[in-house]
Amino acid sequence: MYLHGTSRINEQGHLEIGGCDTVKLAEQYGTPLYMVDEAHIRNRMRQFVDAFEQTCLSYQVAYASKAFSTLAMCRIVDEEGLLLDVVSDGELYTALQAGFPPERIYFHGNNKTLAELDMALAAGVGLFVVDNFTELTRLDRMATEQESKARILLRTTPGVEAHTHDYIQTGQEDSKFGFDYQSGQVIEAVQYALSSSGLELLGFHCHIGSQIFETEGFSLAIGKMADLCKECLESLGFQTTILNLGGGFGIRYNDQDQPLPVSNYVQAIEDGVRKGFQGREIPEIWVEPGRSIVGEAGTTLYTVGTMKEVPGVRKYIAVDGGMNDNPRTALYQASYEAMLANRGAEPPTETVSIAGKLCESGDMLIWDATLPNVKDGDLLAVSCTGAYNYSMSNNYNRVRRPAVVFLYEGKSDLVVRRESLLDLLQNDQLPDRLKKGQAPHHQPNPILEVEGTGSE
Ligand SMILES: *Cc1c(COP(=O)(O)O)cnc(C)c1O
Q: What is the mean pLDDT of residues 377-396?
A: 98
CATH (residue range 38-293): 3.20.20.10
The CATH H-level (homologous superfamily) assignment of domain 8-36+296-421 is Lyase, Ornithine Decarboxylase; Chain A, domain 1 (2.40.37.10)
CB 407 within 8 A of CB 36: yes
Q: What is the mean pLDDT of residues 192-215?
A: 96
Q: Residues of the chain with pLDDT > 90: what percent? A: 90
Ligand 1: residue of 288, 291, 293 to mutate (most ligand atoms within 8 A of CB) is: 288
Question: Which of these, 332, 87, 123, 77, lies nearest to 207 by C-alpha position?
Answer: 87
* Cα separation, 89 vs 107, whole angstroms: 9
Provide the pLDDT for residue 188: 97
**287 Cα to the center of ligand 1, angstroms:** 9
* Cα separation, 97 vs 71, whole angstroms: 7
**181 Cα to the center of ligand 1, angstroms:** 20
pLDDT in tens, 205-217: 999 999 999 999 9
Q: Is 247 a pocket residue for ligand 1 (Cβ < 6 Å)?
A: yes
pLDDT in tens, 232-247: 999 999 999 999 999 9
pLDDT in tens, 128-164: 999 999 999 999 999 999 999 999 999 999 888 777 6
Other Cβ atoms closer than 10 A to 44? 24
Provide the pLDDT for residue 455: 44
CB 154 within 8 A of CB 190: yes
In order, the DSSP letters of 264-299 are HHHHHHHHHHHHHTTTSPPPEEEE--SHHHHTTTEE
Ligand 1 atom nearest residue 388's Cα: 8
Q: Is 210 a pocket residue for ligand 1 (Cβ < 6 Å)?
A: yes
Q: What is the mean pLDDT of residues 88-95?
A: 98
Ligand 1: residue of 87, 110, 212, 291 to mutate (most ligand atoms within 8 A of CB) is: 291
Q: What is the mean pLDDT of residues 50-72?
A: 98
Where in the sequence of the chain do the CATH 3.20.20.10 domains occur? 38-293
pLDDT of 449 > 90? The answer is: no
Coil vs helix vs strand at 25: helix
pLDDT of 39 > 80? The answer is: yes
Ligand 1 atom nearest residue 155's Cα: 13
Active site residues: 359
Residues 6+ apart with CB under 8 A from 199: 136, 139, 140, 143, 149, 150, 152, 193
CB 45 within 8 A of CB 293: yes
Quick one: pLDDT band at residue 453, thresholds 50, 70, 90?
very low
Report how far apart, in Å, the C-alpha atoms of 142 and of each of 114, 121, 297 are: 9, 9, 40
